[in-house]
Structure 1
Amino acid sequence: MGLLGVIAVPEGGEVELDLLTESVVEGVLVSGTAFAKVEGECARCLEPIADEVEVRITELYAWPDSTTDETTEEDEVSRIENDLIDLEPVVRDAIVLALPQAPLCEPDCKGLCSECGGRWAELGPDHGHETIDPRWAALQERFSDDNNEEK
């Protein structure tokens, strides 16, 4: 469940459900929460991250031949089929929609240096890659020599 390679519930991962099912006139109302551990990588620095997601679920499963069943399109409401309800699509959709599209290891993650690919969090504030235009290199050398002689 999720965006594989970005953030998802790992394959074989458990999803814990705490649900209440209530019989109502038009069918069965399922409400409660779903909880799962998710894994992925930071969208800025590509570091592995592990997080948790908890979502609220409320879904009506309509009885066959009920007014709700007859007056709604097939994809508008879930249906009870052979006295069974299928929770998987509802839980999957709720969890996937709760996952961030661009997960971050920290809210203020600075990402990677575009020159060397190092993580800004590890490089420090004085890290830089100063490049001089080759047309100005001789002038830079001239002033560097003057500054060194004065000292």
Structure 2
Amino acid sequence: MTAKSSRGHKHPPSGPLVLDTNDLGRRPGAMQEVRRAAPAPDDLGVDLIKVPPGSPLDLDLRLESVAEGVLVTGTVTARAEGECGRCLDPVAETVQVQLVELFAYPGSVTDETTDEDEIARLVEDRIDLEPVIRNAIVLALPLTPLCDPDCAGLCAGCGERLDDLPKDHTHEMIDPRWAGLREKFDSPEQ
């Protein structure tokens, strides 16, 4: 069995980020708007900032039937939470991503001439938006989120936020290799 012929044996996708295009039809130019909130899937983010699982993803999409499939365009908005990459304070930000994705009809020229990982496909007239949304949001999130662009981070000596400490805050750091000499030659204060 070839990879192309095994495509028709997939189970239809289901879940809150799956859209049924049955009502849209296949006549090029047919359009349908989708505005709704869907719960965010697990692990939607990077190490320091993520969209909490189950929090709302606001979808504002347009589905348009074209000759080769269904073109999905629009925006997805979510609230991401995490911690500052410098001081570890909580960070929250709104993330809005643009989607433009073609989902190929089974048996279309696009379906037959592209690999499975090149372009998304409809399975039994259903569109699974989760991989597309996941890619767009993860790429839009900062790898190092900041509570403030000028955040100074943490003091290496005491671990306190540098922004909360006085400007002249310092710690006397003695190289441990010289500590024995300091003890021997330092005189007690008089």
Q: What's the counterpart of residue 23 of structure 2?
A: none
Question: Is residue 2:112 matched to residue 1:70?
Answer: yes
The residue that corresponds to 2:84 in the other structure is 42
Residue 96 of structure 1 aligns with which residue?
138
Cα offset, 1:108, TM superposition: 1.3
2:51 corresponds to 1:3: no
Equivalence for 1:123? 165
Q: Distance in 2 between matches of 1:52 and 1:139?
A: 58
Q: 2:93 matched to which residue of 1?
A: 51
**Alpha-carbon RMSD:** 1.8
In the aligned structure 1, how far is the partner of 2:164 from the partner of 2:186? 30
Distance 1:49 1:59 in 2: 30
TM-score (norm 2): 0.70
For the residues of structure 2 that align with 1:62 and 1:111, how far apart are their CA atoms?
Answer: 48
Superposed displacement of residue 136, structure 1:
5.6
Gaps of at least 5 residues in structure 2 are 1-43
**SS of structure 2 residue aligned to 1:85:** strand
For residues 63 and 141 of structure 2, what CA distance do their matches in structure 1 show? 25
**2:153 equivalent in structure 1:** 111
CA-CA distance at 1:3 after TM superposition = 2.2
Higher helix share: 1
C-alpha deviations, 1:13-37, integer Å up to 9, x for none?
1100110111000000000111000
Q: Output one character per residue of 1:109-145: Cα deviation in whole Å (capped at 9) or x when no partner.
A: 1110001000001012011002355446787769x87
TM-score (ref. length: structure 1): 0.87
- Secondary structure in 2 aligned to 1:95? helix
The whole-number CA distance in structure 1 between the counterparts of 2:69 and 2:108 is 8
The code of the aligned residue for 2:79 comes to K
Number of equivalences: 143
Give, in whole Å, the separation in 2 of the partners of 1:66 and 1:18.
Answer: 27
CA drift of 1:89 comes to 0.9
Q: 1:141 to 1:110 in 2, by over 3 A?
A: farther
Q: Structure 1 vs Structure 2: percent identity of aligned residues?
A: 54
